[in-house]
Amino acid sequence: MFRRIAMACAIAAGLAAPAAQAHHSYAMFDRSKTVTLNGTIRQFQWTNPHSWIQLEVPGEAGTDEWSIEMGSPFELLRVGWTSTSVKAGDKVSIQVHPVKDGSKGGGFVSGTDAQGRELGKAK
């Protein structure tokens, strides 16, 4: 009986693994390119499953809003971020892997604040 339960659990875990891996795909980002965005944070969303920065970037036709995807709060905590690392109104320079379809979005790579300090590190 124990062997049947163990086998059923192993099969269930094996079937669930591809779905879990697919959720964390970064296929939408062009990881061969890095774009630097200089702008003002409109909003920092410290949320699961991913945190986000909404960044207002001056453009030729006015201000463009970029949506920058980050890791989960737990992942960000491990590398020094907190829910107050950045706030609305902060001037920043952020590097992203842009979205492949050309929309105003990307995956966070790194960034600095107006004083040149690395984002997510203690001030």
Is residue 17 assigned to a domain?
no
CATH number, residue 57: 2.40.50.140
pLDDT in tens, 12-26: 445 444 444 445 567
Domain housing 88: 28-113
pLDDT value of residue 4: 62
Q: Is residue 97 part of a domain?
A: yes
Is there a domain that residue 52 lies in? yes
In this prediction, residue 27 has a pLDDT band, given cuts at 50, 70 and 90, of confident
In sequence order, the 6+-apart residues with CB closer than 8 A to the CB of 39 are 55, 56, 57, 58, 66, 91, 92, 94
The tens digit of pLDDT for each residue in 105-119 reads 999 999 999 999 999
Q: Is residue 75 part of a domain?
A: yes
- Look at residue 74 and tell me if it is in a domain: yes
pLDDT at position 59, please?
A: 87
- SS3 for 61? coil
| 101 located within any domain | yes
